[in-house]
Structure 1
């Protein structure tokens, strides 16, 4: 099944203090940044106990960042100590996705299969690159290639059975792996 179930995922980075009273600017790693507003606690490492409880969240001026006040962070100096720190969230703290939707962290580790049933590899990450995101897929031989995360290529995401069904454009994978077409 899914290797990420029940763990922590990186959801943002503290960019810098905002003002003098402990507020910090957070750069979200999630395509839906508003999810950060619903997460009740953040951790400062993937496994450690150090955590931050949000008291208030608001829009940052001029961009896609959010401004957070965390419990116990009440001065510029305390906010400055968080600069550059990655924020992690427990996957259990995410609100359940809508029917037919998924979180990117749920895709990591899932097998990627063509319609013929041929295993292409496993998802190792998702990269936002512009108008669509890219799935990074690692082959059984340890090489990587990318597939656009669009309906024409990713036909279905089956979280229950744990796999992605894809229809890559002819030659798309071979070109990336430097293989001759047959």
Structure 2
């Protein structure tokens, strides 16, 4: 079993145990989720109120029970995730991939940040160019970043890897 984080619970919604869900829309395709410290819970209902996704879990039927889950991380089993179209990737699958500029490996993906307008790769340096192991932030944006099988190619952005 391999779990990946897909989001967090926000504030309760209404009185019947609903929770605002902040995270990956992949939750729309799941029958169950793993709740930090509470184990697997079946997803009983899922709907949108405006732009907000509301999630109801088995065993959480009151606002008080929902309040106990606010802020907790929500995970999914990798095997439960729906397949993606060619050229699409789950972000957790990118973490740990080597990053290249040209033919030179300059680091590996340490994390991916949600920066609002776009996501950002956190690249931990290795090798001659980044001996200090500092982290560099690179916008995950085409055509500057290309994901290939087993690696990520970054166009040389002036000053980024100097």
Give me the TM-score of the superposition, normalised by structure 1. Answer: 0.79
Gaps of at least 5 residues in structure 1 are: 1-5, 175-182
Following TM superposition, by how much is the alpha carbon of 1:19 offset from its aligned partner in structure 2, in angstroms? 1.3
1:147 touches 1:153 (CA, 8 Å); kept in 2? Answer: no
Counting strand residues as a fraction of each chain, which structure ranks higher? 2
Tell me what 2:69 maps to. 82
Matched residue, 1:11: 6
Matched, 1:124 2:149: no
Counterpart of 1:170 in structure 2 is 158
CA distance in 1, matches of 2:10, 2:117: 25
2-structure distance, mates of 1:148, 1:71? 39
Output the CA distance in 1 between the equivalents of 2:42 and 2:48: 18
Q: Secondary structure at the match of 1:37?
A: helix
Cross-structure match for 1:134 = 120
Aligned CA-pair RMSD: 1.7
1:1-80 aligned within 5 A: 7-28=2-23, 30=24, 33=25, 35-45=26-36, 50-61=39-50, 63=51, 65-80=52-67
Question: Who is 1:180 aligned against?
Answer: none
The answer to whether the Cα contact below 8 Å between 1:120 and 1:139 also exists between their aligned partners in 2 is yes
Partner of 1:158: 148
Distance 1:146-1:92 versus aligned 2 partners, 3 A rule: same
User: C-alpha displacement at 1:38, in angstroms?
Assistant: 0.4
- Could you tell me how far apart the structure 1 residues matched to 2:45 and 2:104 are? 48
What SS does structure 2 have at the residue aligned with 1:172?
coil
Aligned residue pairs total 157
Q: Show structure 2 runs of 5+ residues with no match.
A: 127-131
